[in-house]
Amino acid sequence: MRPNIEFQPPSDIKSFQEQKLAEQLIFLYENSRFYQDLFRKNNIDISKIKTLEDLTLIPVTNKDDLQQRNEDFICVPKNKIIDYITTSGTLGDPVTFAMTDHDLERLAYNEAISFAVADGNAEDTYQLMTTIDRRFMAGLAYFLGVRKLGAGIIRVGNGMPELQWDSIRRFKPNAFITVPSFILKLIEYAEANGIDYKSSSIRKAVCIGEPLRNPDFSLTTLSRRIREKWDIQLYSTYASTEMGTAFTECRFGCGGHHHPELIIVEFLDENDRPVNDHEAGEVTITTLGVEGMPLLRFKTGDVCYHYTEPCSCGRTTMRLGPVLGRKQQMIKYKGTTLYPPALYDILDNIENIVNYYVEVYTNAIGTDEIVIHVGSRLVSETFEKQIKDHFRAKLRVAPQILFEPVDYIEKTMNPAGVRKAVRFLDKRNHHK
Ligand SMILES: [Zn+2]
Protein backbone atom coordinates (compact mmCIF):
# COMPACT_ATOMS: atom_id res chain seq x y z
CA MET A 1 0.00 0.00 0.00
CA ARG A 2 2.90 2.32 -0.75
CA PRO A 3 2.50 3.12 -4.47
CA ASN A 4 5.84 3.48 -6.28
CA ILE A 5 4.83 6.75 -7.86
CA GLU A 6 4.93 8.46 -4.44
CA PHE A 7 8.69 7.99 -4.31
CA GLN A 8 9.66 9.03 -7.87
CA PRO A 9 11.41 12.23 -9.01
CA PRO A 10 8.96 15.15 -9.46
CA SER A 11 9.52 15.20 -13.24
CA ASP A 12 8.39 11.55 -13.48
CA ILE A 13 5.33 12.30 -11.34
CA LYS A 14 4.48 15.19 -13.65
CA SER A 15 4.69 13.19 -16.89
CA PHE A 16 2.73 10.35 -15.23
CA GLN A 17 -0.03 12.85 -14.41
CA GLU A 18 0.00 14.29 -17.92
CA GLN A 19 -0.63 10.87 -19.39
CA LYS A 20 -3.54 10.35 -16.96
CA LEU A 21 -4.87 13.81 -17.79
CA ALA A 22 -5.03 12.98 -21.51
CA GLU A 23 -7.12 9.89 -20.70
CA GLN A 24 -9.41 11.89 -18.41
CA LEU A 25 -9.96 14.59 -21.05
CA ILE A 26 -11.02 12.01 -23.63
CA PHE A 27 -13.41 10.49 -21.12
CA LEU A 28 -14.96 13.90 -20.38
CA TYR A 29 -15.17 14.74 -24.08
CA GLU A 30 -17.04 11.51 -24.72
CA ASN A 31 -19.28 11.35 -21.65
CA SER A 32 -19.82 14.67 -19.86
CA ARG A 33 -22.49 16.96 -21.23
CA PHE A 34 -21.23 19.80 -19.06
CA TYR A 35 -17.65 19.56 -20.33
CA GLN A 36 -18.72 18.89 -23.92
CA ASP A 37 -20.50 22.25 -23.80
CA LEU A 38 -17.55 23.92 -22.11
CA PHE A 39 -15.07 22.64 -24.71
CA ARG A 40 -17.33 23.68 -27.58
CA LYS A 41 -18.13 27.15 -26.24
CA ASN A 42 -14.46 27.89 -25.61
CA ASN A 43 -13.12 26.26 -28.79
CA ILE A 44 -10.95 23.88 -26.81
CA ASP A 45 -9.22 21.12 -28.72
CA ILE A 46 -8.43 18.61 -25.96
CA SER A 47 -5.66 17.02 -28.03
CA LYS A 48 -3.74 20.28 -27.58
CA ILE A 49 -3.83 20.00 -23.75
CA LYS A 50 -0.63 18.05 -23.23
CA THR A 51 1.03 19.40 -20.08
CA LEU A 52 -0.23 20.38 -16.64
CA GLU A 53 0.56 23.99 -17.58
CA ASP A 54 -1.82 23.69 -20.55
CA LEU A 55 -4.68 23.26 -18.08
CA THR A 56 -4.84 27.05 -17.77
CA LEU A 57 -6.31 27.09 -21.30
CA ILE A 58 -9.49 25.52 -19.88
CA PRO A 59 -11.94 27.64 -17.84
CA VAL A 60 -12.39 26.66 -14.18
CA THR A 61 -15.48 24.92 -12.82
CA ASN A 62 -17.07 26.29 -9.65
CA LYS A 63 -19.66 25.21 -7.10
CA ASP A 64 -22.44 27.13 -8.83
CA ASP A 65 -21.86 25.08 -12.00
CA LEU A 66 -22.24 21.88 -9.98
CA GLN A 67 -25.47 23.15 -8.50
CA GLN A 68 -27.03 24.55 -11.65
CA ARG A 69 -26.11 21.71 -13.99
CA ASN A 70 -25.80 18.80 -11.62
CA GLU A 71 -27.27 16.20 -14.02
CA ASP A 72 -24.98 17.25 -16.86
CA PHE A 73 -21.91 16.33 -14.81
CA ILE A 74 -22.97 12.71 -14.47
CA CYS A 75 -21.17 10.61 -17.10
CA VAL A 76 -22.85 7.22 -16.74
CA PRO A 77 -26.37 5.81 -17.23
CA LYS A 78 -28.42 5.19 -14.09
CA ASN A 79 -27.87 1.43 -14.15
CA LYS A 80 -24.14 1.98 -13.61
CA ILE A 81 -24.68 4.03 -10.44
CA ILE A 82 -24.19 2.10 -7.19
CA ASP A 83 -24.06 4.73 -4.48
CA TYR A 84 -25.71 8.16 -4.24
CA ILE A 85 -23.95 10.82 -2.23
CA THR A 86 -24.94 14.42 -1.64
CA THR A 87 -23.04 17.51 -0.56
CA SER A 88 -24.46 20.89 0.37
CA GLY A 89 -24.79 23.11 -2.67
CA THR A 90 -24.25 26.85 -2.88
CA LEU A 91 -27.93 27.65 -3.42
CA GLY A 92 -29.57 25.54 -0.76
CA ASP A 93 -30.38 22.39 -2.70
CA PRO A 94 -27.85 19.57 -2.25
CA VAL A 95 -25.59 18.46 -5.12
CA THR A 96 -25.70 14.77 -6.04
CA PHE A 97 -22.57 12.71 -6.58
CA ALA A 98 -23.10 9.46 -8.45
CA MET A 99 -20.62 6.69 -7.69
CA THR A 100 -20.08 3.68 -9.93
CA ASP A 101 -18.60 0.37 -8.83
CA HIS A 102 -15.27 1.52 -10.26
CA ASP A 103 -15.50 4.80 -8.27
CA LEU A 104 -16.08 2.90 -5.01
CA GLU A 105 -13.03 0.80 -5.80
CA ARG A 106 -11.04 3.97 -6.47
CA LEU A 107 -12.28 5.44 -3.19
CA ALA A 108 -11.24 2.31 -1.30
CA TYR A 109 -7.78 2.46 -2.87
CA ASN A 110 -7.51 6.17 -2.03
CA GLU A 111 -8.30 5.62 1.65
CA ALA A 112 -6.12 2.53 1.91
CA ILE A 113 -3.03 4.36 0.65
CA SER A 114 -3.97 7.39 2.75
CA PHE A 115 -4.14 5.30 5.93
CA ALA A 116 -0.81 3.81 4.89
CA VAL A 117 0.66 7.34 4.81
CA ALA A 118 -0.60 7.69 8.40
CA ASP A 119 1.36 4.57 9.42
CA GLY A 120 -1.66 2.29 8.96
CA ASN A 121 -1.29 -1.40 8.18
CA ALA A 122 -3.15 -4.71 8.32
CA GLU A 123 -2.36 -5.12 12.04
CA ASP A 124 -4.42 -2.06 12.97
CA THR A 125 -7.97 -1.95 14.30
CA TYR A 126 -9.75 1.34 13.67
CA GLN A 127 -12.73 2.63 15.59
CA LEU A 128 -14.84 4.58 13.08
CA MET A 129 -16.42 7.51 14.89
CA THR A 130 -17.99 9.24 11.91
CA THR A 131 -21.35 8.73 10.22
CA ILE A 132 -21.37 5.99 7.60
CA ASP A 133 -24.84 6.69 6.16
CA ARG A 134 -26.92 9.87 5.65
CA ARG A 135 -25.63 10.12 2.07
CA PHE A 136 -22.13 11.07 3.26
CA MET A 137 -19.02 9.91 1.45
CA ALA A 138 -16.47 10.03 4.28
CA GLY A 139 -17.60 7.22 6.58
CA LEU A 140 -18.15 4.84 3.70
CA ALA A 141 -14.77 5.74 2.22
CA TYR A 142 -13.04 4.98 5.54
CA PHE A 143 -14.80 1.65 5.84
CA LEU A 144 -13.83 0.63 2.30
CA GLY A 145 -10.27 1.86 2.79
CA VAL A 146 -9.69 0.05 6.06
CA ARG A 147 -11.06 -3.13 4.51
CA LYS A 148 -8.74 -2.78 1.54
CA LEU A 149 -5.81 -2.18 3.89
CA GLY A 150 -6.68 -5.47 5.56
CA ALA A 151 -7.09 -3.81 8.94
CA GLY A 152 -10.03 -4.19 11.32
CA ILE A 153 -12.82 -1.68 11.80
CA ILE A 154 -15.50 -1.07 14.42
CA ARG A 155 -18.35 1.04 13.05
CA VAL A 156 -19.56 2.84 16.14
CA GLY A 157 -20.52 6.07 14.37
CA ASN A 158 -20.42 9.55 15.87
CA GLY A 159 -21.30 10.61 19.41
CA MET A 160 -22.26 8.10 22.13
CA PRO A 161 -19.17 8.23 24.39
CA GLU A 162 -20.45 5.30 26.45
CA LEU A 163 -20.68 3.01 23.41
CA GLN A 164 -17.28 4.26 22.23
CA TRP A 165 -15.65 3.27 25.52
CA ASP A 166 -17.53 -0.03 25.58
CA SER A 167 -16.14 -0.79 22.11
CA ILE A 168 -12.61 0.17 23.13
CA ARG A 169 -12.85 -2.17 26.15
CA ARG A 170 -14.31 -5.07 24.16
CA PHE A 171 -12.37 -4.96 20.89
CA LYS A 172 -9.15 -3.13 21.84
CA PRO A 173 -8.80 -0.94 18.74
CA ASN A 174 -5.51 0.94 18.49
CA ALA A 175 -6.74 3.81 16.30
CA PHE A 176 -9.58 6.30 16.00
CA ILE A 177 -11.08 7.85 12.90
CA THR A 178 -12.77 10.98 14.23
CA VAL A 179 -13.20 14.72 14.36
CA PRO A 180 -10.52 15.76 16.84
CA SER A 181 -12.81 17.74 19.18
CA PHE A 182 -14.67 14.50 19.90
CA ILE A 183 -11.49 13.08 21.46
CA LEU A 184 -11.80 15.80 24.11
CA LYS A 185 -15.39 14.69 24.75
CA LEU A 186 -14.19 11.10 25.18
CA ILE A 187 -11.53 12.21 27.64
CA GLU A 188 -14.14 14.21 29.58
CA TYR A 189 -16.43 11.19 29.72
CA ALA A 190 -13.58 8.94 30.81
CA GLU A 191 -12.57 11.33 33.58
CA ALA A 192 -16.15 11.62 34.84
CA ASN A 193 -16.62 7.84 34.84
CA GLY A 194 -13.31 6.65 36.20
CA ILE A 195 -12.04 5.17 32.93
CA ASP A 196 -8.26 4.98 32.77
CA TYR A 197 -8.06 6.22 29.18
CA LYS A 198 -4.27 6.59 29.18
CA SER A 199 -3.91 2.84 29.69
CA SER A 200 -6.40 1.98 26.93
CA SER A 201 -5.44 0.29 23.66
CA ILE A 202 -5.65 3.55 21.64
CA ARG A 203 -2.36 4.81 20.22
CA LYS A 204 -3.31 7.07 17.31
CA ALA A 205 -6.11 8.96 15.60
CA VAL A 206 -6.76 9.92 12.00
CA CYS A 207 -8.50 13.27 12.33
CA ILE A 208 -10.89 14.97 9.93
CA GLY A 209 -12.95 18.14 9.71
CA GLU A 210 -11.08 20.36 12.15
CA PRO A 211 -7.52 21.64 11.76
CA LEU A 212 -4.81 20.04 13.90
CA ARG A 213 -2.18 22.43 12.71
CA ASN A 214 -1.80 26.12 11.99
CA PRO A 215 -0.43 27.17 8.60
CA ASP A 216 3.12 27.16 10.10
CA PHE A 217 2.52 23.49 11.17
CA SER A 218 2.45 24.35 14.88
CA LEU A 219 -0.34 22.55 16.75
CA THR A 220 -3.68 24.33 16.99
CA THR A 221 -5.18 25.01 20.40
CA LEU A 222 -7.47 22.02 19.88
CA SER A 223 -4.74 19.50 19.13
CA ARG A 224 -2.53 20.88 21.89
CA ARG A 225 -5.36 20.36 24.37
CA ILE A 226 -5.73 16.76 23.25
CA ARG A 227 -2.01 16.09 23.43
CA GLU A 228 -1.70 17.64 26.91
CA LYS A 229 -4.29 15.18 28.17
CA TRP A 230 -3.50 12.11 26.13
CA ASP A 231 -0.25 11.33 24.37
CA ILE A 232 -1.55 9.68 21.19
CA GLN A 233 -0.30 10.33 17.66
CA LEU A 234 -2.64 12.57 15.68
CA TYR A 235 -2.71 12.53 11.88
CA SER A 236 -4.58 15.18 9.97
CA THR A 237 -6.43 14.35 6.77
CA TYR A 238 -8.09 16.73 4.30
CA ALA A 239 -10.66 15.54 1.79
CA SER A 240 -13.96 16.41 0.15
CA THR A 241 -16.69 14.66 -1.78
CA GLU A 242 -15.84 16.62 -4.93
CA MET A 243 -12.21 15.47 -4.78
CA GLY A 244 -12.95 11.87 -3.83
CA THR A 245 -9.37 11.89 -2.66
CA ALA A 246 -7.65 12.41 0.70
CA PHE A 247 -4.50 14.32 1.58
CA THR A 248 -3.16 12.69 4.71
CA GLU A 249 -0.23 13.59 6.92
CA CYS A 250 2.54 11.16 7.65
CA ARG A 251 4.08 11.03 11.12
CA PHE A 252 6.28 14.04 10.28
CA GLY A 253 3.19 16.26 10.20
CA CYS A 254 4.21 18.68 7.46
CA GLY A 255 1.24 18.62 5.14
CA GLY A 256 -1.11 16.11 3.55
CA HIS A 257 0.51 13.89 0.92
CA HIS A 258 -0.73 14.09 -2.66
CA HIS A 259 -1.71 10.90 -4.52
CA PRO A 260 -0.68 11.65 -8.12
CA GLU A 261 -2.63 8.77 -9.65
CA LEU A 262 -5.92 10.12 -8.26
CA ILE A 263 -5.95 13.87 -8.64
CA ILE A 264 -4.24 16.90 -10.20
CA VAL A 265 -3.99 19.93 -7.94
CA GLU A 266 -3.48 23.54 -8.98
CA PHE A 267 -3.21 26.56 -6.69
CA LEU A 268 -4.86 29.64 -8.17
CA ASP A 269 -4.94 33.34 -7.32
CA GLU A 270 -7.93 35.69 -7.47
CA ASN A 271 -7.72 35.83 -11.27
CA ASP A 272 -7.52 32.05 -11.63
CA ARG A 273 -3.81 32.20 -12.47
CA PRO A 274 -1.38 29.77 -10.81
CA VAL A 275 0.35 31.23 -7.75
CA ASN A 276 4.10 30.93 -7.25
CA ASP A 277 5.55 28.30 -4.93
CA HIS A 278 5.46 29.64 -1.36
CA GLU A 279 2.27 31.61 -2.05
CA ALA A 280 -1.16 30.60 -0.81
CA GLY A 281 -3.65 29.69 -3.52
CA GLU A 282 -7.13 28.27 -3.94
CA VAL A 283 -7.00 24.47 -4.20
CA THR A 284 -8.30 23.65 -7.68
CA ILE A 285 -8.61 20.01 -8.62
CA THR A 286 -8.96 17.69 -11.57
CA THR A 287 -10.00 14.18 -10.61
CA LEU A 288 -8.30 11.25 -12.32
CA GLY A 289 -9.92 7.88 -12.91
CA VAL A 290 -13.38 8.98 -11.77
CA GLU A 291 -16.27 7.59 -13.83
CA GLY A 292 -19.54 8.81 -12.31
CA MET A 293 -18.88 12.50 -11.84
CA PRO A 294 -15.35 13.53 -12.81
CA LEU A 295 -14.37 17.18 -12.37
CA LEU A 296 -11.98 19.31 -14.37
CA ARG A 297 -10.33 22.35 -12.75
CA PHE A 298 -12.87 22.48 -9.95
CA LYS A 299 -12.34 25.33 -7.47
CA THR A 300 -12.77 23.99 -3.95
CA GLY A 301 -12.87 27.36 -2.19
CA ASP A 302 -10.12 26.27 0.24
CA VAL A 303 -6.93 28.28 0.37
CA CYS A 304 -3.66 26.49 1.19
CA TYR A 305 0.10 26.68 0.87
CA HIS A 306 1.82 23.75 -0.79
CA TYR A 307 5.24 22.20 -0.39
CA THR A 308 7.32 20.36 -2.94
CA GLU A 309 10.58 19.47 -1.19
CA PRO A 310 10.89 15.74 -0.36
CA CYS A 311 9.38 14.66 2.97
CA SER A 312 11.34 12.91 5.74
CA CYS A 313 9.13 9.85 5.16
CA GLY A 314 10.79 9.41 1.75
CA ARG A 315 7.83 10.49 -0.34
CA THR A 316 8.51 12.98 -3.11
CA THR A 317 4.88 13.94 -3.68
CA MET A 318 3.57 17.47 -3.17
CA ARG A 319 2.15 18.21 0.28
CA LEU A 320 -0.86 20.36 1.01
CA GLY A 321 -0.49 22.65 4.03
CA PRO A 322 -3.29 23.21 6.55
CA VAL A 323 -6.29 25.08 5.12
CA LEU A 324 -5.89 28.80 5.84
CA GLY A 325 -9.59 29.34 5.30
CA ARG A 326 -12.33 29.68 2.73
CA LYS A 327 -11.57 31.92 -0.22
CA GLN A 328 -14.83 33.85 0.30
CA GLN A 329 -13.93 34.56 3.92
CA MET A 330 -10.58 36.15 3.14
CA ILE A 331 -10.15 39.40 5.07
CA LYS A 332 -7.78 42.17 3.98
CA TYR A 333 -7.01 44.00 7.18
CA LYS A 334 -4.48 46.81 7.52
CA GLY A 335 -2.36 45.36 4.74
CA THR A 336 -2.50 41.80 6.06
CA THR A 337 -4.46 38.92 4.56
CA LEU A 338 -6.31 36.98 7.25
CA TYR A 339 -8.71 34.05 7.41
CA PRO A 340 -11.15 33.43 10.28
CA PRO A 341 -9.52 30.17 11.51
CA ALA A 342 -6.37 32.09 12.49
CA LEU A 343 -8.52 34.41 14.61
CA TYR A 344 -10.41 31.49 16.17
CA ASP A 345 -7.21 29.78 17.16
CA ILE A 346 -6.01 32.85 19.07
CA LEU A 347 -9.38 33.35 20.80
CA ASP A 348 -9.69 29.65 21.72
CA ASN A 349 -6.40 29.95 23.50
CA ILE A 350 -7.21 32.90 25.78
CA GLU A 351 -8.36 32.02 29.25
CA ASN A 352 -11.54 33.73 30.53
CA ILE A 353 -13.08 34.03 27.06
CA VAL A 354 -16.30 32.02 27.20
CA ASN A 355 -17.56 32.54 23.65
CA TYR A 356 -17.11 34.88 20.71
CA TYR A 357 -18.00 35.62 17.13
CA VAL A 358 -16.12 37.53 14.48
CA GLU A 359 -17.88 40.26 12.54
CA VAL A 360 -16.45 41.78 9.38
CA TYR A 361 -17.87 44.83 7.63
CA THR A 362 -16.86 47.37 5.01
CA ASN A 363 -15.85 50.70 6.57
CA ALA A 364 -16.30 54.23 5.21
CA ILE A 365 -13.19 54.03 3.03
CA GLY A 366 -14.25 50.70 1.54
CA THR A 367 -11.84 48.36 3.32
CA ASP A 368 -12.46 45.47 5.68
CA GLU A 369 -12.97 46.11 9.37
CA ILE A 370 -13.00 43.39 12.06
CA VAL A 371 -14.92 43.46 15.34
CA ILE A 372 -14.60 40.54 17.71
CA HIS A 373 -17.60 40.17 19.99
CA VAL A 374 -16.37 38.52 23.16
CA GLY A 375 -18.32 36.95 25.99
CA SER A 376 -15.96 36.92 28.93
CA ARG A 377 -15.64 36.16 32.63
CA LEU A 378 -13.43 39.23 32.80
CA VAL A 379 -14.38 42.64 31.42
CA SER A 380 -11.75 45.33 31.76
CA GLU A 381 -9.54 47.58 29.69
CA THR A 382 -6.52 45.60 30.82
CA PHE A 383 -8.05 42.37 29.55
CA GLU A 384 -9.01 44.03 26.27
CA LYS A 385 -5.40 45.13 25.85
CA GLN A 386 -4.20 41.59 26.65
CA ILE A 387 -6.46 40.15 23.97
CA LYS A 388 -5.16 42.68 21.43
CA ASP A 389 -1.60 41.85 22.40
CA HIS A 390 -2.24 38.17 21.62
CA PHE A 391 -3.44 39.20 18.15
CA ARG A 392 -0.47 41.51 17.56
CA ALA A 393 1.96 38.79 18.60
CA LYS A 394 0.50 36.24 16.20
CA LEU A 395 -0.86 38.31 13.30
CA ARG A 396 0.88 41.71 13.67
CA VAL A 397 -2.52 43.44 13.71
CA ALA A 398 -5.20 43.76 16.37
CA PRO A 399 -8.92 43.89 15.59
CA GLN A 400 -11.49 45.83 17.60
CA ILE A 401 -12.71 43.97 20.71
CA LEU A 402 -16.26 44.41 22.00
CA PHE A 403 -17.34 42.76 25.26
CA GLU A 404 -20.93 41.50 25.27
CA PRO A 405 -23.01 39.37 27.64
CA VAL A 406 -22.26 35.65 27.24
CA ASP A 407 -25.90 34.73 26.58
CA TYR A 408 -26.27 37.46 23.93
CA ILE A 409 -23.34 35.96 22.03
CA GLU A 410 -24.74 32.48 22.51
CA LYS A 411 -28.02 33.61 20.91
CA THR A 412 -26.30 35.37 18.02
CA MET A 413 -24.22 32.29 17.28
CA ASN A 414 -27.19 29.94 17.31
CA PRO A 415 -30.08 31.60 15.48
CA ALA A 416 -33.17 29.45 14.98
CA GLY A 417 -32.82 26.91 12.19
CA VAL A 418 -29.03 26.86 12.10
CA ARG A 419 -27.44 23.51 12.81
CA LYS A 420 -23.87 24.65 13.32
CA ALA A 421 -22.94 27.62 15.51
CA VAL A 422 -22.12 30.73 13.49
CA ARG A 423 -18.73 32.14 14.41
CA PHE A 424 -18.26 34.38 11.39
CA LEU A 425 -20.64 37.19 10.47
CA ASP A 426 -19.83 38.68 7.07
CA LYS A 427 -21.48 42.06 6.61
CA ARG A 428 -19.20 43.31 3.86
CA ASN A 429 -20.77 45.05 0.85
CA HIS A 430 -19.59 42.57 -1.73
CA HIS A 431 -20.73 39.57 0.28
CA LYS A 432 -24.14 38.11 0.87
ZN1 LIG B 1 5.77 12.40 4.66
CA distance 57 to 48: 10
Pairing relationship of beta strands 125-128 and 325-326 according to DSSP bridges: unpaired
CA of 212 to the centre of ligand 1 (A): 16
Report CA(258)–ligand 1 centroid distance (Å).
10
How many Å lie between the centroid of ligand 1 and the Cα of residue 136? Answer: 28
Q: What is the DSSP string of 184-225?
A: HHHHHHHHHTT--GGGSS--EEEE-SS-SB-TTSPBPHHHHH
Report how far ligand 1's centroid is from the alpha carbon of 316 (Å): 8
Query: Which residues make beta-bridge pairs with 359?
Result: 371, 425
Ligand 1 centroid distance, CA of 67 (Å): 36
Query: How many other C-beta atoms can be found within 10 angstroms of the C-beta atom of residue 128?
Result: 24
Distance 10 CA to ligand 1 centre (A): 15
pLDDT at 406 over 60: yes
Ligand 1: centre distance to CA 121 (Å)? 16
pLDDT confidence bin for 431, thresholds 50/70/90 = low
> In the predicted model, is pLDDT for residue 401 greater than 80?
yes
Q: pLDDT confidence of 93, banded at 50, 70, 90?
A: confident
CA of 109 to the centre of ligand 1 (A): 18
**In the chain, % of residues over pLDDT 90:** 91
Instruction: Find the 308 Cα to ligand 1 centroid distance in Å.
Output: 11
Higher per-residue confidence, 246 vs 416:
246
Region 4-20 average pLDDT: 97
How far is the centre of ligand 1, averaged over its atoms, from the C-alpha of 256 (Å)?
8
Cα 263 from Cα 275, distance rounded (Å): 18
27 Cα to the center of ligand 1, angstroms: 32
> Which chain residues have CB less than 5 Å from ligand 1, an ion?
250, 311, 313, 315
pLDDT confidence tier of residue 205, bands split at 50, 70 and 90: very high
CA of 255 to the centre of ligand 1 (A): 8
**Average pLDDT over the chain, rounded to whole?**
95
Within 13 Å, how many C-alpha atoms sit on residue 149's CB side? 28
Cα 4 to ligand 1 centre (Å): 14
User: What is the strand order of the sheet 319-320 is part of?
Assistant: 152-155, 125-128, 175-178, 204-207, 233-240, 245-248, 256-257, 319-320, 306-307
Distance 312 CA to ligand 1 centre (A): 6
Rounded average pLDDT over 296-319:
96
The pLDDT, as a whole number, for residue 3 is 96
Ligand 1 centroid to Cα of residue 252, in Å, is: 6
Q: Which helix (H) or strand (E) holds 392?
A: helix 381-395
Looking at beta carbons, which pairs linking 189-194 to residues 24 or more positions away fall under 8 Å?
A: 189/161, 189/162, 189/165, 190/165, 193/165
Going from the Cα of 414 to the center of ligand 1, the distance in angstroms, rounded, reads 39
- Going by pLDDT thresholds of 50, 70 and 90, the confidence category of residue 415 is confident
Give distance in angstroms: CA of 254 to centre of ligand 1. 7
pLDDT in tens, 21-51: 999 999 999 999 999 999 999 999 999 999 9
pLDDT tier for residue 432 given thresholds of 50, 70 and 90:
very low
**pTM score, whole prediction:** 0.92
Q: Ligand 1 centroid vs 250 CA: distance in angstroms?
A: 5
What is the whole-number distance in angstroms between the Cα of residue 61 and the centre of ligand 1? Answer: 30
Name the band, by pLDDT with cuts 50, 70 and 90, for residue 421.
confident
User: Which residues are 257's β-sheet partners?
Assistant: 248, 319
Percent of the chain predicted with pLDDT > 70:
99
| pLDDT of amino acid 277 | 86
Q: How far is CA 125 from CA 64, 158, 176, 390, in A?
A: 40, 17, 9, 41
pLDDT of residue 131 exceeding 90:
yes
112 Cα–ligand 1 center, Å: 16
Q: How far is the CA of 101 from the centre of ligand 1 (A)?
A: 30
> Tell me, what DSSP letter sits at residue 423?
-
